[in-house]
Structure 1
Amino acid sequence: MQYALVLAGALLAAAHPHQNEAHGRLHRMHNRDVVVTDVEIDTVTVTDYVTAGEAQATPAAASSGDWAAAGSSVAAVSSVAPVYSSPSSSAAPVVKVAPSSAPVYSAPASSAAPAPSSYSSAPSSAASSAASSASSSAPAASGLSVGNLTPKGKKAGLSGYPGVTGKSSFASLAPYISWYSDYTANTPDSNGVMGIGMLWGASGSPCGEFERLATFNEMATNNTTPSIMFGFYEPDCTCTMSSDMSTTDAATQWNSLIAPMKAKGTVLGSPSMCKQKDEDFLTPFKSGITTDWDVTSIHVNKNNLQGAKDDVEYYVNKYNKPVWVSEFACVDDANGFTACTDQGQIDQFINDVVSYFESNSNVVAYGPSNGDGLGTVWPLTDASTGALTPSGQTYLNAIKNL
C-alpha cells in the first residue's frame, strides 16, 4: 500500500469517528510506538495446540478445545488459587465502554497525567525510530507454529515498550521469559527472548499510525516473514491509547495487510480488545475477514483471580481458539478503571494469575503490562533506575518457581 494512500485513508477516518464508542480509556498502554501482532490461520477446526516440547493432544482433548492436553513441559502450578477481591482505592485512568449491556467506564480527574513509570502505546516518532532497526526472523527459526504456539515451551513473557530491552529489569527477567512485545511490527529478539510483533493500527484509524505502518509495509517489501503477527491494538477504544478502528475498516486492512502473511507461514493473532469480555467487536470483524486468526490475543485488567478466569473463559468459549494473554494488570474495572495501589493485593494477584495461566492449557502465553493508567505501584520497571520494582520482583519470583 502506498504511504500516501495510507495517509489519505487515515485523514478520511478522522472525519468519520469510530462508531458509537465513548471510551475515555487512559489505561495501561505502553507509551512508545506500538504494533499489535496477531496471527491467523485458515483453519476452522483446531486439532492440537500444544506447548513446545509437549506430545500432541489426543483427538478427544482437541475436540474439547484443550490445546495442550498432553501436558506442558513447563512445570504446572496449582490450578486452583484463592480468589482475591477488594479493589484498591486509587485514582487512575479509565475506559468508557460502548455496549449498552456492558459497564461504562469513565476517567477520574486524576487520570490526566500518566505516572512517570508508565508507558503508552500511543504513537511516538522517537520510539518508532528506535524500534525500527531490527528485522524479524523467518517462522522456521523460532519453532512457533499453529500447532506449537508457546515460544520455547515457556508461557511467561513481558508486555514491554520500545527500549525495554535496555533496562536492567529486562536482563533480570530474560532467563525466565520466552517472549516480549514492544508495540512495533518488527520487535527484535533480545537476550535470548523472542520479539513478538504487531500491527498497531492502519488506514481507518485516526491515531496517526504512519511510522509504524510504514515499518510494517517495509517488512513486506523486504519479504520479511515473522513467525507471528498480532493486530490491531484495541481497535474497540479511542485514540490515543487505542487504535480506534471500525470493524469494517479493521477487516479491510486485515485482509489487505495481515492475511497474506498466513500463506508464508506466519501465525496470526487477533486484534486485542480494550473491553475485555464485554467486547462486541470480534464477531462482526470475523464475519468480514477472509483469513481467520490462529490465536486470540486478550487483555486482562482485573483485581482478582475470578475476573481473570472470566475473561479467559469468555474468549475460549466464544471463539474456540487458544488464548495469548498479551497484557495483564491489577486493575479495579468495576467502577471505572482504577489501578491497584496496595502492594500486597498486587503480589497476590500476580501469584494467582500466573498459577492459573500456567495450569490452563487454553492459555499458550501471558505477560504483564507496563502501560499508562497503571499508577506507580503496579509497573514492573522503575522509571528512574530501570531496575525491577517490588511488583517486578514478585513476577520474577513467580515465574522462577515454575
Structure 2
Amino acid sequence: MVRNHSISGKFIQTCVGALVLLLALGEVGQAQTKSPKRGLAYGYHSAADMQALAPGISWWYNWYSRPDAGAATIYPGLNVDYVPMQWGRDLDGSAVTADRLATNIPAGAKYLLGFNEPNFRSQANLTPTQAAALWPVLQEVARRKNLKLVSPAVNYCGDCVTENGTTYYSPTQYLDAFFAACPTCQVDYIAVHTYVCEERWLRDKIAELKKYNKPIWLTEFACGDMPASQITLAVQQKYLMDAVNYLEKEPAIFRYAWFSGRNNEIPNINLLGASGQLTALGQEYVSLPVNGEPGRLIPVATRASSQESNATGAANATDNNINTRWASAFADPQSLQLDFGSIQTFTRVQLSWEAAFARDYQLQTSSDGVNWTTIQTVVNGDGGVDNLTGLSGRGRYLRLLGTRRATTYGYSLYEIEVFGPATTALRTASVSASNSATTLDLYPNPAETQLHVALSGGARLRSLTITNALGQTVLTSAGPAAELTIASLPAGLYVVRATTTDAQQLTQRLVKR
C-alpha cells in the first residue's frame, strides 16, 4: 500500500528503565494485563512480527478490509484484534459495494474504520458531501456484520479538498460538514491523526474533538511535525513516552495506534527491525505501563506551598485525573507534599508535567513533616514524563521541592504517581488486604438504559459520579445504589468514579450507546 503524508532536554529515565521496571515488579508485573487501548497502524506483518508485538498491543489495522497474509492466521491466538478499514471510494480497483466489503471483513471483527484522511487530496480525497453519500455503504456492512463504525480519520492538511468555496484544513471543520451532510448517519467513534511532537499539542488536538462527545480513536501518531534532521531517536522516544502516558490516562481516548511498524517517511518511527525483531522504540512501546499500574500508593492528603488559582489546587496532582493539575505561584522555590498516613517505602515516582515544568527539583521524604531527606535530585529536567525509578526512601511524607522553573510561570503538574515495592498493595497500609484489590465493575458496558455497578473485595459504595468527555458532571448518586438509569445521557464516552466507604477512589470507562 502506498501512502503519502502531508505533515506539517534529556530523558530522566530511558526506555530501558521502563523495561527494568517491569522486570523488577516480579509477580505484580506478571499479573498486569496489556493495554486494551494500545495498537499499531501497519501492514506487511510477518508472523514473527506479530508475535513480537503481541505482548504489548491489543489491536492493529492496515488501511484495508482484510488482514495482511503474514498475520492472518496467527493474530487471533495472540489476543490481538484486527480492525478493518474502508480506505476511500474504491475497493480493489472498483467502486466499493456493501457486498464486496462485507465479504472482505474477517470473522470476529467488531469495528469498521471509515475513510483515511478524506480531506487530503493525496489520500481518500472525498469532500464532506461525498463522504456522507458513501457512508450508507459502510452502515449496511456494519448492520450485516454487527460492527461499530468509526468516523472518517481526519488530520490537519496542506493540499486539502475544497467544496462550495470551502477548503477543509482542520479535522473539526471537515467533521462538522460531514455531520451536517449526514445528520442521521451512524458514527459510534471519532478518528483522528496527528504528527505533533509534544504532548501538550497532542492534548490540544484531542480536546478539539471532545465536543462530539464520542469516544476517540487516535489511529495514527508519531513525532513528524519538525525538520527531519531534528527527529532523533531520543526525540521520538521522549515523545512516545509522554504521549502514551497521556493517552493511557485520558478517558476520552478509546484506542490509539502508533505509526508505524516499518516506514521511511518519518525518521526513527519504526517499531520493527528485522522480521520478528523489535527496535529500541518498539521495546519501549510494547513495555510501557498500562494505566492503573499495581503498587501505587494513595496519599490521604496533599498540600502545596501555593496555588495559582482555586482551580489548580494541590489535590489535583493526586486525583488520578490527567486533565486536572496543580499550578503554583510564579516564584521559586515551591513544594508539593503528600501525606500517606503511615510510614511507606518509596521505589518509584512518576511526574506528568504540564508545559510549565521544573528544570531543577528534589524528591524528599520525612517521617514527621519537619525533617527532610533528599532521595533524588534532578538537574536540567526536560518536562513531559519524569519516570524516576530505583528510588530508596521511607517516610510518611513525600515532598516535591522545585528550585528552578523552566518558564516564567509557576510549577504545573498534572499528576504525581508514587509506587512502593512489588509486594506493596494498591493502597496504604491502613487499608485492609481484602480491600486493596477492590475493582469497580460496570455491566453491561456499552450500556443503553440501565447500568449495574458492582465492587469486588467486599468494599461498600458511598457515592458515584459520572462525567462526560468534557469533564462535566452529568450524573451523581449517593449511597449504595447498585443500578443507575442512564437513558437520558447522550451516546458517548463517560467516566464513572466511585468512592467507597473506606475512601478508595475507583474509576472505570463507560460507553453509552
- Show the counterpart of 1:316: 210
2:110 counterpart (215, 227, 251) = 227
Partner AA of 2:143 in structure 1: A
- Residue 325 in structure 1 maps to residue 226 in structure 2: no
Q: Give the Cα–Cα distance (whole angstroms) in 1 for the partners of residues 284 and 217 of structure 2.
A: 21
1:379 counterpart (260, 267, 270) = 270
- Residue 293 in structure 1 maps to residue 187 in structure 2: yes
Q: Give the Cα–Cα distance (whole angstroms) in 1 for the partners of residues 206 and 79 of structure 2.
A: 28
Compared with structure 1, are the counterparts of its residues 200 and 169 closer, same or farther at alpha carbon in structure 2 (3 Å cutoff)? same
- Show the counterpart of 2:196: 302
Q: Give the Cα–Cα distance (whole angstroms) in 2 for the partners of residues 350 and 285 of structure 1.
A: 31
Where 2:116 maps in the other structure, the secondary structure is coil
CA deviations over 1:200-219 (Å, ceiling 9, x no partner): 0115xxxxx53486697424
Q: Give the Cα–Cα distance (whole angstroms) in 2 for the partners of residues 386 and 31 of structure 1.
A: 23
- Residue 182 in structure 1 maps to residue 62 in structure 2: yes
- Residue 194 in structure 1 maps to residue 194 in structure 2: no
CA deviations over 1:242-298 (Å, ceiling 9, x no partner): 11111111111112x112234343100000013189332111111222323101111
Partner AA of 1:346 in structure 2: Q
**More divergent stretch after superposition (298-307 vs 372-381):** 372-381
Q: How does 1:74-89 map to 2 (within 5 A)?
A: none
From the two aligned structures, give the one with the greater helix fraction.
1
CA contact (8 A) 2:52 2:276 kept: no
When normalised by structure 1's length, the TM-score is 0.54
- Show the counterpart of 2:254: 364
Structure possessing the higher relative contact order (Cα contacts under 8 Å, 6 or more residues apart): 1
**1:221 CA displacement:** 5.5
Q: Give the Cα–Cα distance (whole angstroms) in 2 for the partners of residues 357 and 212 of structure 1.
A: 37
CA contact (8 A) 1:199 1:229 kept: yes
Where 1:344 maps in the other structure, the secondary structure is helix
Q: Give the Cα–Cα distance (whole angstroms) in 1 for the partners of residues 97 and 81 of structure 2.
A: 19
- Show the counterpart of 1:397: 287
Q: Give the Cα–Cα distance (whole angstroms) in 1 for the partners of residues 41 and 105 of structure 2.
A: 26
Compared with structure 1, are the counterparts of its residues 324 and 366 closer, same or farther at alpha carbon in structure 2 (3 Å cutoff)? same
**1:233 CA displacement:** 0.4
Compared with structure 1, are the counterparts of its residues 379 and 224 closer, same or farther at alpha carbon in structure 2 (3 Å cutoff)? closer
Q: How does 1:74-153 map to 2 (within 5 A)?
A: 95=6, 105=8
CA contact (8 A) 2:217 2:254 kept: yes
Gaps of 5+ in 1: 1-29, 33-92, 97-104, 106-150, 204-208
Compared with structure 1, are the counterparts of its residues 365 and 250 closer, same or farther at alpha carbon in structure 2 (3 Å cutoff)? same
Q: How does 1:250-269 map to 2 (within 5 A)?
A: 250-255=131-136, 257-264=137-144, 265-269=146-150
CA deviations over 1:146-202 (Å, ceiling 9, x no partner): xxxxx99711111111x2143x34312202211010111133544331100110011
CA deviations over 1:56-99 (Å, ceiling 9, x no partner): xxxxxxxxxxxxxxxxxxxxxxxxxxxxxxxxxxxxx8627xxx
**1:321 CA displacement:** 0.9
1:236 counterpart (103, 110, 119) = 119
Gaps of 5+ in 2: 9-32, 158-168, 294-513
CA contact (8 A) 2:224 2:266 kept: no
Where 2:188 maps in the other structure, the secondary structure is coil
Q: Give the Cα–Cα distance (whole angstroms) in 1 for the partners of residues 99 and 230 of structure 2.
A: 39
Q: Give the Cα–Cα distance (whole angstroms) in 2 for the partners of residues 215 and 153 of structure 1.
A: 34
Partner AA of 2:130 in structure 1: D
CA deviations over 1:107-165 (Å, ceiling 9, x no partner): xxxxxxxxxxxxxxxxxxxxxxxxxxxxxxxxxxxxxxxxxxxx99711111111x214
- Show the counterpart of 1:14: none
- Show the counterpart of 1:278: 170
When normalised by structure 2's length, the TM-score is 0.43
**1:397 CA displacement:** 2.4
Between the two proteins, the alignment pairs up a number of residues equal to: 245
Q: Give the Cα–Cα distance (whole angstroms) in 2 for the partners of residues 286 and 352 of structure 1.
A: 32
- Show the counterpart of 1:218: 100
Q: Give the Cα–Cα distance (whole angstroms) in 2 for the partners of residues 315 and 330 of structure 1.
A: 20
**1:329 CA displacement:** 0.6
Where 2:266 maps in the other structure, the secondary structure is coil
CA contact (8 A) 1:339 1:375 kept: no
Q: Give the Cα–Cα distance (whole angstroms) in 1 for the partners of residues 82 and 94 of structure 2.
A: 16
- Residue 158 in structure 1 maps to residue 40 in structure 2: yes
Compared with structure 1, are the counterparts of its residues 212 and 396 closer, same or farther at alpha carbon in structure 2 (3 Å cutoff)? farther
The structure with the larger Rg is 2
Compared with structure 1, are the counterparts of its residues 287 and 356 closer, same or farther at alpha carbon in structure 2 (3 Å cutoff)? same
CA contact (8 A) 1:341 1:378 kept: no
Please report the RMSD computed on the Cα atoms of aligned residues, expressed in angstroms: 3.2
Partner AA of 1:387 in structure 2: Q
Compared with structure 1, are the counterparts of its residues 349 and 223 closer, same or farther at alpha carbon in structure 2 (3 Å cutoff)? closer
CA contact (8 A) 1:339 1:374 kept: no
Q: Give the Cα–Cα distance (whole angstroms) in 1 for the partners of residues 66 and 84 of structure 2.
A: 5
Q: Give the Cα–Cα distance (whole angstroms) in 2 for the partners of residues 272 and 346 of structure 1.
A: 23
CA contact (8 A) 2:56 2:285 kept: no
CA deviations over 1:341-362 (Å, ceiling 9, x no partner): 2111111111111110111111
**1:304 CA displacement:** 0.6
From the two aligned structures, give the one with the greater strand fraction.
2
Q: How does 1:33-112 map to 2 (within 5 A)?
A: 95=6, 105=8
Q: Give the Cα–Cα distance (whole angstroms) in 2 for the partners of residues 396 and 301 of structure 1.
A: 20
